[in-house]
């Protein structure tokens, strides 16, 4: 699948704005298998195919113009099949009488014969009503019978077909209709044979185009999937991903979280290509695992041609493989401990190539801190050597220090400010804050105090340092956002000023142009009037000379050469500006913190107030 083409199709369909109701006659490949195993298709299958042929033929006709025609141009021509199916099978899935001349003849004879049988039976019911338990013609085992009272069995000539549950009623086929009933059975057999012949003929017609049918089923499946992708993108405000170097996620979120809560903290991450390992630390329940799952899901969504639940400008490397070790893989059945299960997936991920993403949750946390950090450090070095992109979570302080000293690794952490904020901060690891979290969750005071006493002073110092760094990072980020906002507001004001100045110049030009056009028209009218009065050429010449003198030539401003630091006016702008410098005969003028280089002819001396 060409992903860029797929994204283009989804974009086209999203602008189309009219989701199609699509159906299938069968799952892809099933019809072809069915035709191998059966002599003919039944009427229900044929009717379903007929409706499908009509649907896709109608869509091909409806969307014959761009951009939707690209999806239906390849649909085969089923006109002949539609015509034959419509002629033979009705909307109830029954074979029509006129499907063939022979079937029409058989059914006509059947109707007449049934009518004769009914007439004879009704006559018997009327003439001898006292011997019947009910004046109703009954059908038993595909034979027409009458409900005869048991005590009249010997007095009635006929064939017994059944008894009632009580045994008081005997269902008898009168001898008067025996020959007709036998003939009716024969006609029904002939009808069945003729219907089978018709169905075989229709099935053979389907077989001739089975390759087209299966291909078009695949086309409809693909189109239905794309409309599902469009629906997903619209419901979750997803955007088109961009493939490139480095992983950049802007305001990303897990789609399931968005469905269950509107207050989702977005994930923002920018991992430059040379940083191939991101080590995420922070408190339990702080969102580390959700970050791993979100990144993995967004990457896979992009690979499958889905728009991703992230903001515009998000960049996804095209990872050929994704390895994930998230959750507990212990197994009694396979004799795996939690740590053994963890190592099993680590071993698998060591087969990853350079274009792979490896997601490792709680890296080596299932064993001793000392050995775990040593093994984790060695593994991360190996991943760096192989070139894959690794995103791992940890609580191990030694591993955080190791990552901070490696040029291809970067620390990150889930922010904790009295409580988890679920924000990923790059560049600074975060402490686990287990004691604070325990206090927040209601563990009583004496236990917390005792835990702090058991904690070494070095560990307390490291936690305090990480917390201070986190606070400083948060404050710096807040100032950066405020600065970005000021720059944005400045750019808006600058654009407004330039727009206003351009409008003033354009309005002035338009005014002068209108005045010149008006003057020219007045002159032309006067000359035309002179000519209509038989004015000779000399008079017209003098009139032109008169107007040339009456309309003085355009006056140019005299150049003004100001001093540096002087206030001046720029021609066409009412507010004064400050002269900053002079270069190559032009002057740099500062006006509302905007700088202009202008010619001396465009400068006007600022008149001093008396």
In the numeric block, which tokens belong to residue 553? Answer: 């030539």
Q: Lowest-confidence range among 292-296, 335-339, 584-588?
A: 335-339
Residue 477 has pLDDT above 80, yes or no: no
Q: Is residue 415 part of a domain?
A: yes
Quick one: 301 and 394 in the same domain? yes
Average pLDDT on 210-224 reads 95
The answer to whether position 203 is within a domain reads: no
Let me know: does 149 contact 169? Beta carbons within 8 Å. yes
Q: Could you tell me if 341 and 247 lie in one domain?
A: yes
When pLDDT is cut at 50, 70 and 90, the band that residue 64 belongs to is confident
Q: Is residue 558 part of a domain?
A: no
Tell me, yes or no, whether 489 and 533 share the same domain. Answer: yes
With the CA atoms of 421, 422, 425 and 431 taken in that order, what torsion angle do they form, in degrees rounded to the nearest 10? 70
**Contacts of residue 540, Cβ cutoff 8 Å, sequence gap at least 6:** 527, 530, 531
Structural domain includes residue 94:
no
Do 280 and 398 fall within a single domain? yes
Q: For residue 503, tell me if it sits in a domain.
A: yes
Q: Are residues 131 and 231 in the same domain?
A: no
Residue-level pLDDT at 335: 43
Average confidence (pLDDT) over 294-319: 94
**468 part of a folded domain:** no
- Decide if 352 contacts 386 (C-beta within 8 A): yes
Check residue 265 and give its pLDDT. Answer: 92
More confident residue, 521 or 103: 103
Residue that the structure tokens 């990872």 belong to? 319
Domain housing 514: 482-550
Q: Based on the domain organization, do 56 and 182 belong to the same domain?
A: no
Average pLDDT, the chain: 85
- For residue 79, CA distances in Å to 25, 44, 221, 562, 589 come to 17, 20, 22, 86, 77
User: CB within 8 A of 247, min separation 6: which ones?
Assistant: 269, 270, 271, 295, 315, 316, 317, 389
Q: Is the pTM of this model over 0.75?
A: no
230-254: pLDDT as tens digits: 999 988 999 999 998 889 999 999 9
**DSSP state, residue 246:** S
Measured distance CA(402)–CA(596) in Å, rounded? 54
pLDDT above 80 (res 45): yes
Residue that wins the pLDDT comparison between 367 and 255: 255
Q: Are 354 and 289 members of one domain? A: yes
120 and 262 share one domain: no
Other CB atoms within 10 Å distance of the CB of residue 457: 7
Beta bridge partners of 426: 412
- Cβ-count burial 287-303 (b if 16+ within 10 Å, e if not): bbbbbbbbbbbbbbbbb
Binned at pLDDT 50, 70 and 90, residue 609 comes out as very low
Total count of domains within the chain: 5
C-alpha dist (Å) from residue 596 to 386, 579, 590: 55, 10, 7
CA distance 406 to 538: 96
Report CA-CA distances (Å) from 147 to 61, 127, 178, 365, 605. 59, 14, 16, 85, 124
Q: Which residue, 155, 243, 181, 214, is CA-closest to 30?
A: 214
Distance CA(532)–CA(526), nearest Å, equals: 10
In a domain, 476, yes or no: no
Q: Please, which residues have CB within 8 angstroms of residue 491's CB and are 6 or more apart in sequence?
A: none
Residue-wise pLDDT tens digits, 93-152: 999 999 999 999 999 999 999 999 999 999 999 999 999 998 899 988 889 999 999 999
Among 514, 516, 504, 510, CA closest to 571: 504
595 Cα distance to chain centroid: 47
Locate the DSSP E strands across 380-500.
389-393, 409-416, 420-426
User: How would residue 330 be classed by pLDDT, with cut points 50, 70 and 90?
Assistant: very low
Quick one: which of 161, 104, 166, 156 has its CA closest to 132?
156
Domain shared by 331 and 397, yes or no:
yes
List, in order, residues 6 or more apart from 409 with CB less than 8 Å away.
Answer: 275, 276, 277, 278, 279, 380, 384, 402, 403
CATH number of the domain within which 386 lies = 3.40.50.300
For residue 525, what are the contacts with CB-CB under 8 A and spacing of at least 6?
Answer: none
Quote the pLDDT of residue 454.
Answer: 57
pLDDT band at 573 (very low <50, low <70, confident <90, very high): confident
CA distances to 276, 322, 380, 435 from 301, rounded to whole Å, are: 21, 12, 26, 38
Q: Using CA atoms, how far apart are residues 583 and 195, in angstroms rounded to an integer?
A: 100
Token digits of residue 168:
């008081």
Question: Could you report the per-residue pLDDT of 141-193, keeping only the tens digit for each?
Answer: 889 999 999 999 888 999 999 999 888 999 999 999 999 999 999 999 999 99
Residues 298 and 398 in one domain: yes
- Whole-angstrom distance, CA of residue 388 vs CA of residue 276: 7
Q: Span 462-487, mean pLDDT? A: 70
Q: How far apart are CA 460 and CA 444, in angstroms?
A: 20
- Sheet containing strand 567-570, edge to edge, reads 594-598, 586-591, 576-583, 567-570, 603-605
Instruction: Count the neighbouring beta carbons within 10 Å of the beta carbon of residue 172.
Output: 22
Q: Which has the higher per-residue pLDDT, 471 or 156?
A: 156
Q: Are residues 112 and 153 in the same domain?
A: yes
Q: Are residues 174 and 45 in the same domain?
A: no
Structural contact between residues 603 and 568, judged by C-beta atoms closer than 8 angstroms: yes
CA distances 227 to 21, 28, 214, 307, 601, Å, are 10, 18, 20, 12, 63
Which CA distances in Å does 511 have to 505, 507, 514, 524, 538? 10, 6, 5, 20, 34
């Amino acid at each position: 699948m060409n992903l860029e083409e797929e994204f283009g199709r989804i974009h086209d369909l999203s602008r189309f704005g009219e989701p199609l109701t699509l159906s299938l006659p069968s799952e892809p490949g099933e019809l072809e298998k069915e035709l191998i195993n059966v002599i003919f298709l039944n009427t229900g299958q044929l009717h379903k195919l007929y409706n499908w042929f009509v649907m896709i033929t109608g869509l091909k006709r409806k969307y014959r113009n761009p951009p939707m025609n690209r999806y239906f141009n390849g649909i085969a021509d089923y006109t002949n099949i539609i015509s034959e199916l419509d002629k033979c099978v009705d909307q109830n899935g029954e074979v029509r009488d006129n499907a063939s001349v022979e079937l029409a003849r058989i059914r006509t004879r059947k109707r007449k014969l049934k009518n004769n049988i009914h007439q004879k039976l009704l006559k018997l019911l009327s003439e001898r009503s006292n011997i019947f338990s009910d004046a109703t013609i009954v059908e038993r085992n595909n034979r027409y019978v009458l409900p005869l009272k048991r005590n009249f069995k010997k007095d009635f000539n006929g064939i017994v077909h059944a008894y009632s549950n009580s045994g008081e009623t005997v269902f008898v086929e009168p001898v008067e209709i025996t020959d007709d009933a036998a003939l009716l059975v024969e006609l029904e057999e002939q009808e069945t044979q003729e219907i089978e012949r018709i169905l075989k003929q229709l099935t053979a017609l389907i077989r001739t185009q089975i390759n087209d049918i299966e291909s078009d089923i695949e086309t409809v499946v693909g189109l239905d999937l794309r409309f599902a992708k469009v629906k997903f993108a619209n419901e979750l405000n997803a955007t088109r991903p961009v493939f490139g170097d480095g992983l950049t996620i802007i305001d990303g979120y897990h789609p399931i979280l968005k469905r269950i809560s509107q207050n989702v903290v977005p994930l923002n991450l920018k991992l430059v290509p040379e940083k191939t390992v991101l080590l995420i630390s922070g408190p339990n329940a702080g969102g580390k695992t959700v970050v791993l799952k979100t990144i993995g899901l967004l990457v896979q969504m992009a690979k499958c041609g889905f728009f991703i639940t992230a903001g515009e400008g998000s960049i996804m490397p095209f990872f050929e493989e994704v390895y994930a070790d998230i959750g507990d893989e212990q197994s009694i059945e396979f004799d795996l401990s939690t740590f053994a299960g963890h190592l099993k997936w680590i071993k698998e991920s060591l087969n990853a190539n350079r274009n792979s993403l490896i997601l490792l949750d709680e890296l080596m946390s299932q064993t001793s801190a000392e050995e775990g950090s040593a093994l984790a450090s060695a593994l991360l070095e190996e991943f760096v050597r192989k070139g894959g992109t690794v995103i791992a979570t940890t609580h191990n302080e030694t591993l955080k220090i190791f990552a901070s000293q490696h040029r291809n690794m970067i620390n990150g952490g889930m922010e904790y400010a009295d409580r988890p904020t679920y924000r990923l901060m790059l560049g600074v690891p975060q402490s686990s804050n287990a004691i604070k979290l325990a206090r927040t969750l209601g563990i009583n005071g004496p236990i917390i105090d005792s835990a702090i006493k058991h904690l070494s002073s070095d560990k307390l110092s490291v936690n305090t340092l990480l917390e201070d760094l986190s606070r400083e990072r948060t404050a710096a980020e807040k100032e950066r956002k405020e600065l970005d906002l000021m720059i944005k507001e400045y750019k808006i004001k600058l654009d407004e000023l330039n727009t206003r100045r351009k409008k003033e110049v354009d309005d002035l030009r338009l005014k002068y142009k209108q005045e010149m056009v008006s003057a020219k028209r007045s002159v032309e009218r006067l000359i035309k009037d002179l000519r209509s009065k038989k004015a000779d050429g000399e008079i017209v010449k003098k009139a032109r000379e008169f107007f040339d003198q009456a309309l003085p030539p355009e006056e140019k401003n005299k150049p003004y050469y100001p001093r540096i630091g002087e206030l001046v006016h720029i021609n066409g702008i009412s507010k004064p500006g400050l002269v900053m410098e002079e270069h190559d005969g032009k002057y740099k003028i500062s006006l509302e913190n905007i700088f202009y280089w202008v010619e001396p002819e465009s400068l006007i001396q600022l008149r001093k107030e008396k």
